[in-house]
A and B are shown apart, each in its own frame.
Chain A
């Protein structure tokens, strides 16, 4: 296993817009390398009166939460409680209709959405891999920011998610668990400072789910990565998260140390 430092990007690039090539139908920007190190960012998240209302229906009602750097926060609650809506607001896939999100104290509306999403990575319930090879999927994120991943970087990421040698595999031949691991590696390739996980194991069998769970736990601990995980599985919340918040009907019911919260509910 390569060192954790290897996981971090060691090269950034300047985008050259003159040449466009294609890979599996998705345009790829031509890039030029310049050497520079991207230091691992420590990121704290805070929501202030975060609300979202769609067509008169209140999905989230004035949620105020702080997630200090390196903390893993679980979000639990019944279906329709607003868990996924909350997560989507954190990297601005949806727009808040009230309140805001602060990244290290900075209102995220001041940050370009594309840069925000690089810094706050998201793993969805379903992997939603792009057609093509595993390597092309992992390279996708950095490419959008004018960076190229070397073969070594891709190998390190695949090692880390337990899929060594999978670079040239076509994603259509992966199992659900493997696809979700590639999805995690694809998100990590952007070197995010915070990770949002939207029920990343709910579509997997028990063995695959535990494998992904251990992987995520290891990654968040070793990188001291701020993490918000939505889960309907309270045992999973207990295994992963130091604090847990409970949502019901879009409202924050309680938040606190996971054991206390889950014991009280």
Chain B
């Protein structure tokens, strides 16, 4: 496996490095232009370019090794991605107890259900080279939806503490008092994905389709498959956003129906 990797590296390395050098030259030209207008980003740009190149080469090597692994390895990679996604999404709700765990369950439920469904009906192959890239797209979007829902729900509830407590004081169920904010949070988390679906092919041609066409797939099939992926992303995002909001709703109240969040 390592020998194959080294062979591939040697054949593509020269081309890749020349292309990278070309990109760096363009970037350096911009830095020089900035300098003429007293915008000094030389050091920062140099560090960023060096870091970016080293990191991407490293990721490439790791992926090249991992993509030859088994389905179990693929599953573990997706699990690790889900954990990382949960840690990232939880930053949007830092003062909610157990926000990492809530995010993890929401993202795992959304992306897990969709990936499992796609595998079950043959929409997604079990090969790790398909599973990991497609899975990562679904997890990343579920993460964004989860974070957006968490942030919107919390900000809406804390901005309407008076209304929520007025409802509670009238004997309403806590779920009733925050129902409008559940709706707005889930909708807000879905909106970017809905816009993405609407603009598909008109405003942008996403990576999966571009990659398939570059590798010689029929453009029509590549387009249809891209549509399927975006619909699955929307589905995973919807599940993740809804579950995150409902889990947060449960944390917002005590068993005695008292709001635990203070005015924002």
Interface residues in chain A, defined as those with a beta carbon under 8 Å from any beta carbon in chain B:
24-27, 91-95, 113-115, 117-118, 121-122, 124, 126, 128-130, 140-141, 144-145, 183, 186-187, 190
Q: Which residue of chain A lies nearest to B170 when distances are taken between CB atoms in the complex?
A: A141
User: Chain B residues with Cβ under 8 A from A126's Cβ?
Assistant: 162
Q: How far is the CA of A27 from the CA of B175 in the complex (A)?
A: 9
- A144 contacts B170, C-beta separation under 8 Å: yes
From 234 to 264 in chain B, residues with beta carbon under 8 angstroms from any chain A beta carbon are 254, 256-259
Instruction: Kindly supply a per-residue 1/0 record for chain B positions 152-184, scoring 1 wherever the CB is within 8 Å of any chain A CB and 0 otherwise.
Output: 000000000011011111111101110110010
- A117 contacts B170, C-beta separation under 8 Å: yes
User: Chain B residues with Cβ under 8 A from A27's Cβ?
Assistant: 175-176, 179
User: Chain A residues with Cβ under 8 A from B175's Cβ?
Assistant: 27
Q: Which residue of chain A lies nearest to B160 when distances are taken between CB atoms in the complex?
A: A128
Q: How far is the CA of A140 from the CA of B166 in the complex (A)?
A: 11
- A130 contacts B167, C-beta separation under 8 Å: yes
Q: Which residue of chain A lies nearest to B175 when distances are taken between CB atoms in the complex?
A: A27
Would you mind naming 11 contact pairs between A and B with Cβ atoms under 8 Å apart?
Answer: A26-B167, A27-B175, A91-B169, A113-B256, A117-B170, A121-B170, A122-B169, A124-B162, A128-B162, A128-B163, A130-B163
Q: How far is the CA of A113 from the CA of B169 in the complex (A)?
A: 9
- A117 contacts B171, C-beta separation under 8 Å: yes
Question: Nearest 7 A-B pairs (CB), nearest first?
Answer: A25-B180, A141-B170, A128-B166, A128-B162, A118-B171, A122-B169, A144-B172
B165, B172, B183: the one within 8 Å of A124 (CB): B165
- A26 contacts B176, C-beta separation under 8 Å: yes
Inter-chain CB contacts under 8 Å: number = 73
User: Chain B residues with Cβ under 8 A from A140's Cβ?
Assistant: 167, 170, 172
Q: How far is the CA of A121 from the CA of B172 in the complex (A)?
A: 12
B160 to chain A, nearest CB (A): 9
Q: How far is the CA of A58 from the CA of B169 in the complex (A)?
A: 24
Q: How far is the CA of A140 from the CA of B172 in the complex (A)?
A: 8
- B176 contacts A144, C-beta separation under 8 Å: yes
Q: How far is the CA of A251 from the CA of B176 in the complex (A)?
A: 36
- B168 contacts A93, C-beta separation under 8 Å: yes
A93, A114, A124: the one within 8 Å of B173 (CB): A114
Instruction: Kindly supply a per-residue 1/0 record for chain B positions 169-206, scoring 1 wherever the CB is within 8 Å of any chain A CB and 0 otherwise.
Output: 11111011101100100000000000000000000000
User: Chain A residues with Cβ under 8 A from B259's Cβ?
Assistant: 93
A25, A26, A117, A130: the one within 8 Å of B169 (CB): A117
- B165 contacts A114, C-beta separation under 8 Å: no
B162, B165, B257: the one within 8 Å of A113 (CB): B257
Interface residues in chain B, defined as those with a beta carbon under 8 Å from any beta carbon in chain A:
162-163, 165-173, 175-177, 179-180, 183, 254, 256-259
B262 to chain A, nearest CB (A): 10
In the complex, given contacts A95-B254, A130-B167, what are 16 additional A-B residue pairs having Cβ atoms less than 8 angstroms apart? A25-B179, A25-B183, A27-B175, A93-B168, A93-B259, A114-B257, A118-B170, A124-B165, A126-B162, A128-B166, A140-B170, A141-B171, A144-B171, A144-B173, A186-B170, A190-B171
- B170 contacts A26, C-beta separation under 8 Å: no
A2 to chain B, nearest CB (A): 23
Q: Which residue of chain B lies nearest to A198 when distances are taken between CB atoms in the complex?
A: B169
Query: Of residues B165, B166, B177, B257, which shows the largest number of chain A Cβ atoms within 10 Å of its Cβ?
Result: B166
Q: How far is the CA of A117 from the CA of B165 in the complex (A)?
A: 11
Q: How far is the CA of A190 from the CA of B258 in the complex (A)?
A: 19
- A114 contacts B172, C-beta separation under 8 Å: yes
- A26 contacts B171, C-beta separation under 8 Å: no
A25 to chain B, nearest CB (A): 4
User: Chain A residues with Cβ under 8 A from B165's Cβ?
Assistant: 93, 124, 128
User: Chain B residues with Cβ under 8 A from A26's Cβ?
Assistant: 167, 176-177, 179-180
- B258 contacts A92, C-beta separation under 8 Å: yes
Q: How far is the CA of A105 from the CA of B122 in the complex (A)?
A: 66
With known contacts A25-B179, A26-B180, A128-B162, A95–B256 Cβ distance under 8 A: yes
- B258 contacts A121, C-beta separation under 8 Å: no
B31 to chain A, nearest CB (A): 50
- A124 contacts B169, C-beta separation under 8 Å: yes
Q: Which residue of chain B lies nearest to A22 when distances are taken between CB atoms in the complex?
A: B179
B37 to chain A, nearest CB (A): 50
User: Chain A residues with Cβ under 8 A from B257's Cβ?
Assistant: 113-114
Q: Which residue of chain A lies nearest to B165 when distances are taken between CB atoms in the complex?
A: A93
With known contacts A25-B180, A124-B165, A128-B162, A95–B172 Cβ distance under 8 A: no
Q: How far is the CA of A43 from the CA of B229 in the complex (A)?
A: 62
Q: How far is the CA of A91 from the CA of B165 in the complex (A)?
A: 11
A57 to chain B, nearest CB (A): 14
Q: How far is the CA of A24 from the CA of B183 in the complex (A)?
A: 12
Q: How far is the CA of A208 from the CA of B166 in the complex (A)?
A: 21
Q: How far is the CA of A25 from the CA of B184 in the complex (A)?
A: 10
User: Chain A residues with Cβ under 8 A from B256's Cβ?
Assistant: 92, 95, 113
User: Chain A residues with Cβ under 8 A from B171's Cβ?
Assistant: 114-115, 117-118, 141, 144-145, 190
Q: Which residue of chain B lies nearest to A92 when distances are taken between CB atoms in the complex?
A: B256
